Amino acid sequence: MQFIDEVRIHCRSGKGGDGIVHFRREAKVPKGGPDGGDGGRGGSVILEADPKRNTLMDLRFNPHQRAENGRPGGSQTANGRSGRDRIVKVPLGTMAWNEDGELLADLDSPHARFNVAQGGRGGKGNAHFKSSTNRTPTRAIPGGPAIEETIRLELRLLADVGLLGFPNAGKSTLISRISAAKPQIADYPFTTLTPKLGVVRGSEYRSIVVADIPGLIEGAADGRGLGNRFLRHVERTRVLCHMLSVAEDEAEPDPLIRYRQLREELRIRAEAEQSDLDQRPEIVVLSKIDTRPPEEIQAIVERFAEENIKLITISAVTGSGLDELVEMMFAHALHPRIAADEPAP
């Protein structure tokens, strides 16, 4: 399925049904009185977060979302049927913005709802205005108008751990080894063009969601490469996992320099969004260690230790270090979740 993470849709609620003017007409019932019924309310356009969806592709091809109009009232004080609501299913983590750039809703919990366009109210029939001083009212109120709104939907993935790194850092291979996700893997840059999610199973029926974020390049926060578009997906992750490759075909062979470049992109993004993105818990991983001699790997580990950075060394090909990495992911990702679930003393 194609991944779409931003769409613009036009929403129109249903018009309210009109109230009617009608008088009861039956044999042997003279002056039956007013019996015009009320109109039904118009349907609303409502966004609903659906945990089973992971793309906005359906809305890309169906940008016009319309609810049903309410039906007019009938005789014998029969009320018109209300219009059906239009429920628009969107992925968990979808944000809705109006045309002025104002955030309308952040649907970050399962089945959360937001009413984009309220349906028009139903009109009042003349039976509603009968009184002791006005026994033959000829007044009725029409239904309320429909509301039209154009909104922009933006999907920001929700994940426990986000895998970050420059192209060919080994993120896709790693997520394919620790989860059931099957991302595209090849020996050229930008094989991951869209984020991929994988569920990692642990002991005691625990699980975490890991996101493979597309490769960044230096200057991503300023719009270069793929990073600017997908950096926003990083903002919803609990833990950031920096992937640093030691493969000899890297453009920048020094993993410490690449780590600092990644940190700088996060800092720029955090300042622009006024978020704590650069303060999130992090795991630093040195990948593809099977491609270099052990003494070179040890020298890199010691360089990071001098900067007070703990480095986990892995090889997704041989499986070396994967168990330790998964345990650390669970330790970092579940700790804030458990703390949040604990009742206050």
How far is the C-alpha of 310 from the C-alpha of 298, rounded, in Å? 12
The one-letter amino acid code at 286 reads L
pLDDT computed for residue 229 by the predictor: 56
Confidence of residue 205 (pLDDT cuts 50, 70, 90): low
pLDDT computed for residue 216 by the predictor: 57
Q: What digits encode the pLDDT tens for the residues 59-78?
A: 988 999 999 999 999 988 89
Residue 344 pLDDT exceeds 50: no
* Segment among 180-189, 264-273, 278-287, 297-306 with least mean pLDDT: 180-189
State whether residue 307 is helix, strand or coil. coil
pLDDT computed for residue 302 by the predictor: 93
Q: Are 138 and 160 in contact (CB under 8 A)?
A: no
- Name the token pair of 237: 């992750």
Share of the chain above pLDDT 70, in %: 83
Q: Across residues 198-212, what is the average pLDDT?
A: 77
Q: pTM of the prediction?
A: 0.66
The one-letter amino acid code at 262 reads L
State whether residue 276 is helix, strand or coil. coil
Residue 25 pLDDT exceeds 50: yes
- Name the token pair of 225: 């490469």
- Name the token pair of 313: 């060394």
pLDDT computed for residue 258 by the predictor: 86
Instruction: Catalogue all structural domains in the chain, each as residue range(s) with its CATH number.
Output: 6-155 (2.70.210.12), 159-341 (3.40.50.300)
Q: What digits encode the pLDDT tens for the residues 208-259?
A: 888 887 655 544 444 444 445 556 667 778 888 998 888 765 555 788 988 9
How far is the C-alpha of 172 from the C-alpha of 184, rounded, in Å? 7
Largest CA distance in the chain: 108
The one-letter amino acid code at 120 reads G
Give residue for tokens 């104002």.
102
Q: Are 90 and 53 in contact (CB under 8 A)?
A: yes
The one-letter amino acid code at 298 reads Q
Q: What digits encode the pLDDT tens for the residues 139-162?
A: 999 999 999 999 999 887 777 888
Q: If you average pLDDT over every residue of the chain, what do you get?
A: 81
Question: Of 116-125, 223-232, 265-274, which has the strongest mean pLDDT?
Answer: 116-125
